[in-house]
Structures are given as structure tokens and as C-alpha cells.
Amino acid sequence: MSKNFSVVGQSLPRADARIKAVGAAQYADDIILPGMLYGKLLRSPVAHARILNIDVSQAKKLPGVKCVITGDDTLKIKFGNWRLVPESQDEYPLAVDKVRFIGDEVAAVAAIDKDIAEEALSLIKVEYEELPGVFSVEEAMAEGAPVIHELNPNNISLQRKIDYGDLDKAFAECDLILDNEFKVHAVSHAYMEPCACVAEYDHNGRLTVWTSTQTPYFVQCLLAKTLGMRENDIRVIKPFVGGGFGGKMELRKWEFCAAFMARQTGRPVKFTLTRAEELATGRRRHPMSIRSKVGFKKDGTLVAKEFTAYLDGGAYNSMGPTAAFLCGNFGGMLYRYPNYRYNGYHVYTNKPPAGAMRGFGAPQALFVAETQMNMAAEQLGIDPLDIRLKNAMETGDEIPGVATISSCGFKESLLKVAEMTNWREKRRQLGKGKGIGIGCYSFISGGVFNWFNTQYNFTRAEVRAFDDGTVHLLTMASDIGQGCDTVLRQILAEELGLKMEDIRLTAADTAVTPQADLGTWGSRVTLMAGNAVRKAAQEIKDQLYKVVSLKFDLNVIHDLDCRDGMVFAKNRPDRGIPFGEAVRLAQRANRGEPIIGYGSYTPRGKGLVTPAFSFGAQVAEVTVDMETGAITVDEMNTAHDCGTPINPMSVEGQLEGSVHMGLGYALCEQFIMKGGKTLTATFLDYKIPCAEDMPPGKSVHVETYEPDGPFGAKEAGEGLVSPTAPAIADAVYHATGYRCTELPITPEKILRGLGKL
């Protein structure tokens, strides 16, 4: 395809950059409405208990308190993983029968100010019958373990399977079999903006909710379900969002409470979480216990893999059912596995629930897969780069029953990152405190989940064209900081031949923008919403081409084009008119009807999980102090295939953010727990990397053309979070001889592994 683009491929600043830089962006907590009340949540102080009685009488008497609710005041309707896995819905808006983790929401208060609401919480008396708790997968699955949810007496909420090939026969033919156990830990999303929402109930019986969310439509549907309202009587508006990374893609208890209490009181209600609440009780990445058995031929050819993962889901399913499947999907990615078996178990424990987090099953699966590739390379005497090149997926490869790879620049990424880093020479020369290591990734470009049935498309877009040469794009796609508002405008500008300043965008408002869009997760927005935008633009062009063809007496409508603000014949550029004039002619020919285009995209028949996959490779260089075990990441270089970059500068920003998150996952971020209680509840205790911790490095786009992506684009937002940990782990091994199989990699583990502790 021609790369003669006007707007696509340009590094343009984000549309919201200026308003954020000057502090004018309005987030959910910035919203103040007349007569607004402030809400607070009462959380359980125990990990597992029956609720015998809740006495709210004293709290209700406190001056300034306008509403106090418990689970008994609600419709007691369970919710959870929306319509993807409806049978997994296991949470009440407020606890009804039991509490299942420290922090479980028991009651809510709305008062005229935050201090009064906080005082009212202290006046609520809850009588608990404390029960034994389980705080690890092993404890939860042990015989006679306390049952957390009565419908799951073994505490396994579900099992996922993938199975193809003849595994037993394949292992019998292997020359090398690795059978290893790994543990990967929970980490926080650590977004800068704590969750907040404001709800207002009007005199017509309609509810408006402003909330920090990645999925406005999910919130609308689940609020309707739990409140007993019609979907269209609820309007959800996403204001600016200060990061989400998967942690803001569900209905949260405070959204329900704000909406319920606004309806009860007739006054707006706001909830804003504290950082301590976010860290101690918020969703987190799934910790996993993983066993991986993988077999090779002497020449490094992969033959078979058996992969078993136990996901510690915490007290509720949340997005765990999807994570349990995706972990197995990613475990069979990147390389050609002719024989593969996966068993994934989602297990309840009395800890805060785990949910979706950037990478969504890939960081755990790929840490294991990439570590074993490095282990196999060493045992077979093969360069880690070469064993990957030998087994790397290529365009056209098939994952049985899951997907066919429609575009793949994995091998090119491997060769490019090796060239960038002088890999072969450094791998031979470094050691004794200095090391170089490699990690790779593949990731989905939007979740398809073709078992998911809905009467709506996966995404829709509406474009309105005006005779002043401007257009208005309406989409429910949610920009949570990744820059999709800018990318979608670039796609539309390219398709219609306009400038960025000619396009107005309205996004993420369920009452204004088209139903439906499933939100921002799984790196879906550029590919899915981008395709919908292109289709809507094509409808606009079809209407304009008809009138321009008539004006110039052209016979072939499809030989027209839009570029540089003009609509013209491709072979006779002089036969054309400005875009706005073409709109005016089309409206006149259609008796004044507005010029509107609609586009939708639902990739049926494009695989079980996703229509396209990104690929890439990353090389880390580290220095390890052999006396203290302290690790310094000296350099991090990346080559990756995201198809055609729509906005290279935004892709670079996604890469840098991914490296930052990968550093924290690999080296320092972890929850310290005691009896189900999170002790690391501030950023003083929960250590995330700072700007000064970011290593220097380069990134190179290995361009491919993805036929299912808009202008050949695919994902660049999540996949890159996965290779950093295995690359650092491999570099640490190269520097010290210590092989990490349990994250994070700490100085203590290195010294213990080297026999110095």
C-alpha cells in the first residue's frame, strides 16, 4: 500500500496537551455541583467474616449526614465481568452476607462535607462473626480450606483450557525438557489520579454520572442492572482521566453508591478515593504460581509446551476469568508451539481482588516463556537470539483454534535490536557484574472474544460534515491518557483530506456518542475505533463524490479523492472543489439534509481473541554490585512491530511508559501483606520507579502493514510492558549467574542465590 500520507505517520502533539499543561483539564474530582454531598465508604477491618448486624442509627443522627446505606438497602443484584462472562458475576454493590477481604465495602455515607462523612463512618457499628481466612493459592486449594464463595467449595472459581497437538508423544521425542516453577507477584496500577465520580439525579428521573473510567458503556449497563433502571435513563460521561491501565474498566462500588444516594437524596453525590484506599483495597495485577514444561530438539527447535497457571484472584472474580484465558493464549504466542496444553485456574483468596492490568495476562506468561527460552539456549549452547530466530512466528502462522497471524515483524525486530545493541559481541564479552539480556513479546490488538454476543457492534463512530469545511467526530472510545483522541482525528483527517484543526471531537458520553464502544482495554482503540472512523468517513466521501461527479460530468465516481481540503478527480486535479463546497452541494441536492456518515467495526471471523498481533524484542544492559546485589539498569533498547505508526511520537510515549512499568514490576514494586492486610499503602512504602530511574535507550519501529488495521496500524500500548522484566532478569543472570524465577528481582534474592546470605 502507498505510504503517501498527509497526516498519518506524523508526530503530532496530543490534542489535550495544552489544556493539561496549563492545569485547565477537568477531572472527576474537579467537578463541583450546587448542593453536592460527599461520600465515604465503610470498609471491613477483617479478611473473612459473616455480617451479623449493622447499626447505622447513630451515623444517621449526626448533623450534616444526609444518607447512610448498607447492602440491605440495595436490590442485592450481583455484578462483575459484565457480559463477557456473566456467570462469573459475584459482587454485590455493598456486602450483604459476608465480607471477604480487608477493605470489602460494607456501608456508605453521604454528608455535607468530607469530615462529617468520615466521622459518620466511625459511628456505624458492625457485628462480625470472624471466619478463618486463606491468603495464598496453596492455602485456598488445600483440603478442608475455608470456603470463600459457597458456589465454589474448592475455591476455584473457574478453569480455562487450551489443548492442541499430541503432547505426550511430542515430549517423548524431545532432546531437552525444562520443567520449572515460577512465581509472579501482584502490583498496583499506581495511576496518578485516584478514582472519583459524581452522580446527579434530575427531576425527570434520569441519572448522570461523571466518572474516571475506561469503559463508560460498561458502567452504564451495570448501573442500570444494579439500580433497576433502564440503560437510556443513565448517562455516563468520562471527563479527563489521569491514567487507568486496566484499573478503571469495571463498575466500582463507589459509582453505584454515588448513583444510589443521589437518587435517594435528590442531591449530587461525589466519591473520591484516597491513595491509601487505592493501594490497600484497589484492583491489582494477578499474582500467579506457574509451572511450565517445555521441550526442545538439540538444534533448538521447540516441540512441546505444557503450561499450568494458578491465578490468585483475591476475593472476587473481577476480570479474572478473562485473565485466566489470556494468560494461556500468551503462553502459546511468539513462537511456533506445534503441541501445546494450557490449564488455568482462577482461585479465590481473602485478599483484595485482582483485575485487569496493562498486559492482562501477558507479563506473567511471557516472563515464564522468555526465561525458559534463555535457559534452553544456555543448556543447548545456542545464542539466545538464534534460538528465538529459529522458532519465531511469521506472517501466516496459525495458533490452532485461536488466530492466524496476518502480519508479523518479529524476526526483523530481533535482528534490529541485536544490531542496535551490538548484541553478539557484548553477550560474549560482558560478565562479572555487567550483563546484557533479551526479552520479547507479542500482544493482541483489541480483544475480540468471539464467544461474546451483543446486539451492538464492538465500536461505532459518527462523522458530521459541514459546509464551512469542518467535521465533527463522535465516538465512545475513551482517551485515558494514551492519546487516542489525537490518533482518531489523524485517521479521520487522512481519510477526508483535511487538517487536524478542521476536526472537532466529542468522546465518551453515553448520551451523545454512538452505542456502543466496549472501552479502552486490550489495546483495542486504534484498530477497532480507527476502522469505524474510516468507514464513517467513507460514507461521507460517497455522498460528496456523487455531487462532485455530477458537477464535472465524471462517469467514474470511485476515481475521486479527498486531499488538501479538496474533493477532486484523481486523473484531473483541476476538476475539483473545496471540501466545504462539496458538502454544500450535497446538502442542496439532498434538500438540506445533514451530511452524516456512520461506521462500525466488529471483527467477526478474525480469530477467537484478536484480529492482529504486535511483536517486538527488547535488550537490557545492567550493572550489578556483587557486594550488595544492587541493580542498575544502564540501557534499554527496543525494536518493535506495531504495523504502521499513526503517530510515532505517541508510540514512543507508550514505549517509555511501558518500560517504566516493566522496571517497577521487575525490580521494586510489591505489596507487603500480613494476614490479608496490605501494609504498603503509600508511595513511601510502595516503591515505583521515578524519572531518574529511567534508563537511556533507543526504540525503532519495524514497520509492517496490518491488513486489518486502519492504514496498516496495530497495537503499541500494552505489549511493550511484557519484555522488560525477562530482559532484565536475563541480564542479571548474565552479570551474576543468578537466575530469577520469582519476581521481583531484589538485592536480597541475588545475594541469597549467590550464597552470600
| Cα separation, 668 vs 660, whole angstroms | 11
pLDDT digits (tens, 9 = 90+) for 615-630: 999 999 999 999 999 9
Q: Give backbone dihedrals phi and psi of 315, rounded to 5 degrees, phi first.
A: -80, -20
pLDDT one-digit tens code per residue, 161-188 = 999 999 999 999 999 999 999 999 999 9
Q: Which of 411, 494, 471 is nearest to 8 (CA)?
A: 494
Question: Mean of the per-residue pLDDT values for the chain?
Answer: 95
Tell me, what's the pLDDT at 84? Answer: 57
Distances (CA, A) of 547 to 217, 219, 464, 561, 587: 37, 43, 17, 13, 10
- Residue by residue, DSSP assigns 224-269 as HHHHT--GGGEEEE--B-S--TTTTSS--HHHHHHHHHHHHHSS-E
Mean pLDDT of 723-730: 98
Q: Quick one: pLDDT band at residue 1, thresholds 50, 70, 90?
A: very low
User: Mean pLDDT lowest for which of 151-155, 454-458, 650-654, 673-677?
Assistant: 454-458
Spatial contact of 581 and 467, defined as CB atoms under 8 Å apart = yes
> What mean pLDDT is predicted for residues 6-28?
95
**How far is residue 105 CA from its own chain's centroid?**
25
Angle at 14 between CA 11 and CA 18, to 5 degrees: 130
Q: Which residues contact 71 (CB under 8 A, 6 or more apart)?
A: 51, 92, 93, 94, 95, 96, 106
Which residues, in sequence order, are CB contacts of 352 under 8 Å at separation 6+?
Answer: 101, 102, 103, 280, 281, 282, 283, 284, 314, 315, 678
Can you give the pLDDT at residue 653?
94
What is the per-residue pLDDT for 446? 84
Single-letter amino acid, residue 313: G
Which of 292, 293, 294 minimizes the C-alpha distance to 310? Answer: 292
Delineate the domains of the chain, giving CATH numbers in brackets.
17-24+451-601 (3.30.365.10), 31-131+192-243+248-281 (3.90.1170.50), 364-448+609-753 (3.30.365.10)
pTM of the model: 0.96
Q: Reply yes or no on whether the pLDDT at 452 is more than 80.
A: no
Residue 450 — pLDDT band, cuts 50, 70, 90?
A: low
Res 477: pLDDT: 94
Q: What is the mean pLDDT of residues 60-80?
A: 97
Band the pLDDT of 454: cuts 50, 70, 90. low
pLDDT (average), residues 295-316: 98
Stretch 56-64: mean pLDDT = 98
Give the lowest-confidence range in 112-121, 508-517, 554-563, 726-735.
Answer: 554-563
Cell numbers for 628, please give them: 550488595
Most confident of 1-5, 113-117, 402-406: 113-117
Residue 603: the pLDDT is 85
* Torsion on CA atoms 740, 742, 748, 752, rounded to nearest 10: -60
Give the model's pLDDT for residue 555. Answer: 73
**Is the pLDDT confidence value at 375 over 60?**
yes
pLDDT in tens, 660-699: 999 999 999 999 999 999 999 999 999 999 999 999 999 9
The average pLDDT across 725-733 equals 98
Say what the pLDDT of residue 571 is. 87
pLDDT tens by residue, 391-419: 999 999 998 888 889 999 999 999 999 99
